[in-house]
Amino acid sequence: MPVYMISRMTIHDRAQYDKYEERFMEVFEKFDGTMLSVDEEPQVLGGEWTATRSVLMEFPSKPQLFAWMTSPEYQEISKYREAGSTGEAIIVKGFEGEL
């Protein structure tokens, strides 16, 4: 079953975050991830949204998402994300046709 990771972050050090972003896709693509959206200007429909970037990605399964997230390659670049931003992330399951 596909799973989706939804992240929102506030970038406070663009130089550090750019180091993360430079190598992100080469690592991400090794784990069959699909980038669905990266947006620094989302349209807020309700509530408060203070994050400066929103990301939506898809993986074929939860094990593949966790393989990417815990891989040595991702851990190596994630230090730049942590130095350059703060944020939140959640994982949601794909819809299977019943509520």
User: Is residue 19 over pLDDT 90?
Assistant: yes
pTM: 0.89
The domain spans of the chain are 3-42+51-92
Q: What is the pLDDT of residues 36-83, one digit of tens each?
A: 999 999 999 999 999 999 999 999 999 999 999 999 999 999 999 999
- CA distances to 2, 19, 34, 55, 95 from 41, rounded to whole Å, are 26, 21, 20, 11, 26
Spelled out in words, what is the top-level CATH class assigned to the domain 3-42+51-92?
Answer: alpha beta
16 phi, psi to nearest 5 deg: -70, -45
Q: How far apart are the first and last CA of the chain?
A: 16
